[in-house]
Amino acid sequence: MNRIKLLFFATIRDRAGTKALELDIPTDMTIHGLKEKISGDYPNLKESMRSVLITINREYAFDEAVVPMGAEIAMFPPVSGG
C-alpha cells in the first residue's frame, strides 16, 4: 500500500469538511483511479472530481499519472480569470 496525503483547497475543502487527510491506496493507482476512489468514499466530493485540478508533489498531474509513494496530492477547483 501507498500512504499519501491529500490537501483540499477552496470549495473542495468546504465540501470535504477538512483541509487534509491521509489515505492508503494501491501502489499502482493512477490519478483517475484516485478520483474514482474519492468519489465513492466521499459522496460530497463526487461532483468536484469531474473538474478538479490536481498536483502531485506541487506539479500538475493528469488522469494517467501513477501516484508515487508517499505523495502529496493537492486538489483545487477549476479557476477562471477576469
Which cell numbers hold the place of 40?
Answer: 465513492
Which cell numbers hold the place of 77?
Answer: 477547483
| CATH 3.40.50.12170 is right for the domain spanning 2-76 | no
Cα dihedral across residues 26, 37, 3, 32: positive or negative: positive
Distance CA 72, CA 58 (A): 8
SS3 assignment for 13-35: HHHHCCCEEEEEECCCCEHHHHH
Please tell me the predicted confidence (pLDDT) of residue 79: 77
pTM: 0.92
pLDDT by 10s per residue, the chain, length 82:
999 999 999 999 999 999 999 999 999 999 999 999 999 999 999 999 999 999 999 999 999 999 999 999 999 998 766 6
